[in-house]
């Protein structure tokens, strides 16, 4: 018994792998930024920071990378969902 899901184009699989890697990188970046921000706020007790502080920028960059990976994943599964070769 075979299904259409067995015949996934190699390019679609490569796109999905790249998208997952990008999302993983984004989540790791966000986690690092959150840890750094916790350190700055709770351990060092630094006062008077802005939204453009380095830990915050790292968090935002991680969110952006994760979103790009998610969009790449949607593009990666499009050939599988539509049945067109990708």
In terms of pLDDT, which residue wins out, 80 or 46?
46
Mean per-residue pLDDT of the chain: 86
Residue 62: how many other CB atoms lie within 10 Å: 20
More confident residue, 33 or 82: 33
Whole-number Å distance between alpha carbons of 15 and 77: 8
Helix (H) or strand (E) holding 1: none
Judged by average pLDDT, the poorest of 16-20, 24-28, 69-73, 78-82 is: 78-82
Neighbours of 52 (CB within 10 A): 8
Each residue's pLDDT tens digit, 36-58: 999 999 998 887 788 999 999 99
pLDDT tens-digit profile of 20-35?
Answer: 999 999 999 999 999 9
């Amino acid at each position: 018994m075979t299904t259409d899901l067995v015949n996934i184009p190699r390019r679609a699989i490569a796109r999905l792998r790249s998208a997952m890697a990008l999302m993983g990188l984004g989540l790791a970046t966000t986690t690092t930024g959150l840890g750094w921000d916790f350190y700055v706020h709770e351990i060092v007790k630094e006062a008077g920071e802005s939204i453009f502080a380095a830990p915050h920028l790292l968090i935002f960059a991680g969110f952006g990378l994760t979103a790009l990976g998610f969009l790449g994943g949607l593009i990666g599964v499009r050939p599988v969902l539509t049945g067109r070769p990708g």
